[in-house]
Chains A and B, each alone.
Chain A
């Protein structure tokens, strides 16, 4: 196990370093000068020149990269060109909000996709199966922005049972916080829920038709024991893998949801930074996302190896 852990940790660090290069080059490849983008209508050549000098934007790219990486490894992601605020502080102030949104959306997706997927697999070919399939297709097809606006229209404008937007920190007012999270969680989690539904269904169908399940039934286990204890456990491997990939996507893909519901999270931070070419913020957020992806997938690999001992043994077996 420890050799597997060390190997995966090493690979993760290399991936992280490569990510810094990709992030840096990607950001610098964006057309548009940050100083000009920042000035908007009020072009002041002297002020723009000062911005370039202050943020080292007039230096050669390798120097800019080394300067950035040398402060980044200390945890300092630089200063926002637009607001003058530390990027690390801006990200840290917003990440709990996005983590909460992504976490709740993931939970919603599991609560929505898992039971429906199981039911669809167990009742394969019935109306329930077709209904679940339709729900899954709709969840995958509906554009996030449209879904968000429609839900606001129905629940906030017409029925007036939920607020349209905004965010209240959980520690400030848990009830308000959860109330304002309902619609964004549905919007963000519905696509993932649809994916999980389909994956669980197909995984379960495969498991339910396998020899070991036939054996379990022959041994007299109840259907519940067969489904949950045997078929589902094996299907969860796929589910965990998908969740691992998609949770990272939930964090970085919350842009549209946060913009619709005015949630001051990670997604809104990146979209504003990109439109303004705020390099330190874009780099900081992109790097943070890369770290999150790599860390989550590292965790998934460890969990995977726990669920399927063959993975560990295969890595250590000669």
Chain B
């Protein structure tokens, strides 16, 4: 009797405890539909036509409006988006087959199919003035044998093609809207996307609204997304604090600590593929399109260039210029990238630098000019470099310039060294080939190395990941040794949003994806 009473009491307690726990478990908040998010763009888009767009500002809008054949996951791995699987590549590497979704419509109701994909790819490839031409240069033809299959014929194997199709070159535009607007597509773009274009006032705002035609519309929660181009980072943060913005795409490192301390805001960080480096004029005497020649730049000398590099203290730069919030880098591939060689940057070697300067026989101080795009951070960086390399015998003059002048000087070879940021790409080929290939479009140093060229050509044609990694390890070692580009840091991106914004994740490409983001209404 007593035993049964105990048993009954125990069961009763257990039942009561379970009943109490159930509401707690059920109180996991589900995303709420509704609301609009105002977010900053650090630069305005040039055009909202994926074929002709050249700015990161346009990419920021596209990411929520214009899906691609492939996308990235948060860590930068390629995943299918409008495609249903990664591409199948023939044994000779010259035929690429991409399966695409069915039952999907563009945001104007036009059915999405393989023919629409081919139309977009051909436009990207062949339209006059297209900025996607080099990204798709390996493709000679594209075809749609059926509604869910795209077949690409290549002139050469291209291991970087899938990565290219995860950016603007892979964005698929409504064929109806292309036929209607043609070259004016950017005025009223229509794609497949969680949000659709509403309006744009250049320099003021771009408005998107949730698309009910989207194939995964039930997981899109926001009603509206409004982009506001704000170039100044102080103004961006001020607007976030004032509540006029709910999300800031790029937060200055100087604002990170204060925002982190404020419970009203959430700061998210992600190491990206972007970097800051210095491009050295080794032989650019006749402009980027001309032949290499002799330049009056002390750092064209291999020994002095190495000495300059050895005199740099990257950790000190990170601490003093970036508040310790970036990652020191000495190669073209970010630690966030699976192709990173895993080799840590060497520490500063001032004695080695001095020895090389002495061995060169060049009288000190060695005068060199560093051109930087004018900004407080870049000037601070330049001044710190000035003091570091001075200890090795270099007299570094820092010349701040506006971007257009800097680009022109780079093009013309009118520089000794130039601070050159790069926003970074997923595939290592896109971060290396154009800068280091002898005839690369961005080989501003005009450095020539046939062996490096051969390695780069081989790496972009090999589809096996492990084989590519081995090749890029050799390439990076050669790039580091040559020092035509001296890498300083890999960029950690910081975004900030109000605590009411739920589900936001910062991806390695820094593009703010808002598909599954919601606003807490409480």
**Interface window among B75-83, B115-123, B230-238:** B230-238
Q: Is the CB of A44 within 8 A of B133?
A: yes
Nearest CB in chain A to that of B410: its residue = A36
Query: Contacting B47 at CB < 8 Å: which of A31, A37, A83?
Result: A83
Task: Say yes or no: A157-B235 contact (C-beta < 8 A), given A40-B55, A42-B131, A264-B203.
Answer: no
Q: Is the CB of A277 within 8 A of B241?
A: no
Query: In the complex, what residues of B have CB within 8 A of residue A40's CB?
Result: 54-56, 407
In the bound complex, how far is the Cα of B434 from the Cα of A272, in angstroms? 28
Query: Contacting A272 at CB < 8 Å: which of B130, B203, B242?
Result: B203
**Interface window among B15-23, B376-384, B397-405:** B397-405
In the bound complex, how far is the Cα of B204 from the Cα of A264, in angstroms? 5
Q: Is the CB of B404 within 8 A of A32?
A: yes
Q: Is the CB of A47 within 8 A of B129?
A: yes
Query: In the complex, what residues of A have CB within 8 A of residue B133's CB?
Result: 44, 46-47
- Taking CB atoms and an 8 Å cut-off, the chain A residues in 38-68 that contact chain B are 38-47, 50-51
Query: In the complex, what residues of A have CB within 8 A of residue B130's CB?
Result: 44, 47
Query: In the complex, what residues of B have CB within 8 A of residue A316's CB?
Result: none
**Interface window among A105-113, A164-172, A220-228, A245-253:** A164-172
Nearest CB in chain B to that of A46: its residue = B133
> In the complex, how many angstroms separate the beta carbon of B229 from the nearest chain A beta carbon?
8
A residues contacting the other copy or chain, number (CB 8 A) = 47
In the bound complex, how far is the Cα of B232 from the Cα of A43, in angstroms? 25
A85 interface contact, C-beta 8 A: yes
Task: Say yes or no: A276-B134 contact (C-beta < 8 A), given A43-B442, A51-B129, A156-B242.
Answer: no
Task: Say yes or no: A50-B441 contact (C-beta < 8 A), given A37-B404, A164-B244, A259-B235.
Answer: no
In the bound complex, how far is the Cα of B289 from the Cα of A90, in angstroms? 35
In the bound complex, how far is the Cα of B273 from the Cα of A80, in angstroms? 32
Q: Is the CB of A262 within 8 A of B228?
A: yes
Nearest CB in chain B to that of A84: its residue = B47
A269 interface contact, C-beta 8 A: yes
In the bound complex, how far is the Cα of B405 from the Cα of A36, in angstroms? 10
Q: Is the CB of B238 within 8 A of A277?
A: no
Query: In the complex, what residues of A have CB within 8 A of residue B184's CB?
Result: 84
User: How would residues 236 to 269 of chain A score, 1 for a CB under 8 Å from any chain B CB and 0 otherwise?
Assistant: 0000000000000000000000011010100011
B9 interface contact, C-beta 8 A: no
- Taking CB atoms and an 8 Å cut-off, the chain B residues in 356-406 that contact chain A are 402-405
B411 interface contact, C-beta 8 A: yes
Query: In the complex, what residues of B have CB within 8 A of residue A149's CB?
Result: 234-235, 238
Nearest CB in chain B to that of A45: its residue = B441
> In the complex, how many angstroms separate the beta carbon of B463 from the nearest chain A beta carbon?
25
Q: Is the CB of B242 within 8 A of A164?
A: yes
Query: In the complex, what residues of A have CB within 8 A of residue B56's CB?
Result: 40-41
Q: Is the CB of A36 within 8 A of B407?
A: yes
- Taking CB atoms and an 8 Å cut-off, the chain B residues in 41-93 that contact chain A are 44, 46-47, 52, 54-56
> In the complex, how many angstroms separate the beta carbon of B236 from the nearest chain A beta carbon?
10
B202 interface contact, C-beta 8 A: yes
B323 interface contact, C-beta 8 A: no
Q: Is the CB of B54 within 8 A of A42?
A: yes
A30 interface contact, C-beta 8 A: yes
- Taking CB atoms and an 8 Å cut-off, the chain A residues in 140-155 that contact chain B are 149, 152-153
Query: Contacting B423 at CB < 8 Å: which of A37, A41, A157?
Result: A41
Q: Is the CB of B128 within 8 A of A50?
A: yes
Nearest CB in chain A to that of B134: its residue = A44
Query: In the complex, what residues of B have CB within 8 A of residue A215's CB?
Result: none
> In the complex, how many angstroms separate the beta carbon of B74 from the nearest chain A beta carbon?
23
B239 interface contact, C-beta 8 A: yes
In the bound complex, how far is the Cα of B239 from the Cα of A156, in angstroms? 9
Query: In the complex, what residues of A have CB within 8 A of residue B204's CB?
Result: 167, 262, 264
> In the complex, how many angstroms separate the beta carbon of A121 from the nearest chain B beta carbon?
39
> In the complex, how many angstroms separate the beta carbon of B280 from the nearest chain A beta carbon?
19
Q: Is the CB of A152 within 8 A of B408?
A: no
Task: Say yes or no: A157-B242 contact (C-beta < 8 A), given A39-B54, A264-B204, A269-B203.
Answer: yes
Query: In the complex, what residues of B have CB within 8 A of residue A153's CB?
Result: 238, 241
A100 interface contact, C-beta 8 A: no
> In the complex, how many angstroms separate the beta carbon of B415 from the nearest chain A beta carbon?
12
Q: Which residue of A32, A160, A277 has the most chain B CB atoms within 10 A of its CB atom?
A: A32
Q: Is the CB of B203 within 8 A of A165?
A: no
A33 interface contact, C-beta 8 A: yes
Query: In the complex, what residues of A have CB within 8 A of residue B228's CB?
Result: 165-166, 262
Task: Say yes or no: A37-B407 contact (C-beta < 8 A), given A163-B244, A164-B244.
Answer: yes
> In the complex, how many angstroms separate the beta carbon of A276 from the nearest chain B beta carbon?
7
Q: Is the CB of A165 within 8 A of B407?
A: no
> In the complex, how many angstroms separate the beta carbon of A23 from the nearest chain B beta carbon?
18
Query: In the complex, what residues of A have CB within 8 A of residue B232's CB?
Result: 259-260
Task: Say yes or no: A32-B405 contact (C-beta < 8 A), given A47-B130, A83-B47, A152-B238.
Answer: yes
Nearest CB in chain B to that of A37: its residue = B404
Q: Is the CB of A164 within 8 A of B238?
A: yes
In the bound complex, how far is the Cα of B129 from the Cα of A84, in angstroms? 13
> In the complex, how many angstroms separate the beta carbon of B402 from the nearest chain A beta carbon?
6
> In the complex, how many angstroms separate the beta carbon of A119 from the nearest chain B beta carbon?
35
Q: Is the CB of A156 within 8 A of B404?
A: no
> In the complex, how many angstroms separate the beta carbon of A50 from the nearest chain B beta carbon?
5
Task: Say yes or no: A85-B404 contact (C-beta < 8 A), given A45-B441, A47-B129, A152-B238.
Answer: no
Query: In the complex, what residues of B have CB within 8 A of residue A262's CB?
Result: 204, 228, 230, 235, 239
Q: Is the CB of A260 within 8 A of B235?
A: yes
Query: Contacting B235 at CB < 8 Å: which of A47, A85, A165, A167?
Result: A165
Query: In the complex, what residues of A have CB within 8 A of residue B409's CB?
Result: 31
User: How would residues 108 to 143 of chain A score, 1 for a CB under 8 Å from any chain B CB and 0 otherwise?
Assistant: 000000000000000000000000000000000000
Q: Is the CB of B231 within 8 A of A32?
A: no
Query: In the complex, what residues of B have CB within 8 A of residue A50's CB?
Result: 128-129
Nearest CB in chain B to that of A163: its residue = B244
Query: Contacting A275 at CB < 8 Å: which of B131, B202, B404?
Result: B404
A198 interface contact, C-beta 8 A: no
Q: Which residue of B54, B201, B409, B422 has the most chain A CB atoms within 10 A of its CB atom?
A: B54
Task: Say yes or no: A39-B47 contact (C-beta < 8 A), given A156-B238, A157-B242, A166-B244.
Answer: no
Query: In the complex, what residues of B have CB within 8 A of residue A33's CB?
Result: 404, 407-408, 411
Q: Is the CB of A30 within 8 A of B404?
A: yes
A82 interface contact, C-beta 8 A: yes
User: How would residues 199 to 242 of chain B score, 1 for a CB under 8 Å from any chain A CB and 0 otherwise?
Assistant: 00111100000000000000000000000101110110011011
Query: In the complex, what residues of B have CB within 8 A of residue A46's CB?
Result: 129, 133
Query: In the complex, what residues of A have CB within 8 A of residue B402's CB?
Result: 32, 274-275
Q: Is the CB of B131 within 8 A of A272?
A: no
> In the complex, how many angstroms separate the beta carbon of A182 from the nearest chain B beta carbon?
14
Nearest CB in chain A to that of B202: its residue = A83
Task: Say yes or no: A41-B54 contact (C-beta < 8 A), given A31-B408, A264-B204.
Answer: yes
Identify 16 new A-B residue pairs, CB closer than 8 A, beyond the known A30-B404, A42-B54: A32-B405, A32-B408, A37-B407, A39-B131, A40-B407, A43-B442, A44-B441, A83-B47, A149-B238, A153-B241, A163-B244, A165-B228, A262-B235, A275-B403, A275-B404, A276-B404
**30 pairs, A vs B, C-beta closer than 8 Å:** A32-B402, A32-B407, A33-B404, A36-B404, A36-B408, A37-B408, A41-B422, A44-B133, A44-B134, A45-B289, A47-B129, A50-B128, A50-B129, A90-B202, A149-B238, A156-B243, A160-B243, A163-B244, A164-B244, A165-B242, A166-B244, A259-B231, A262-B204, A262-B235, A264-B201, A264-B204, A269-B203, A274-B402, A275-B402, A275-B404
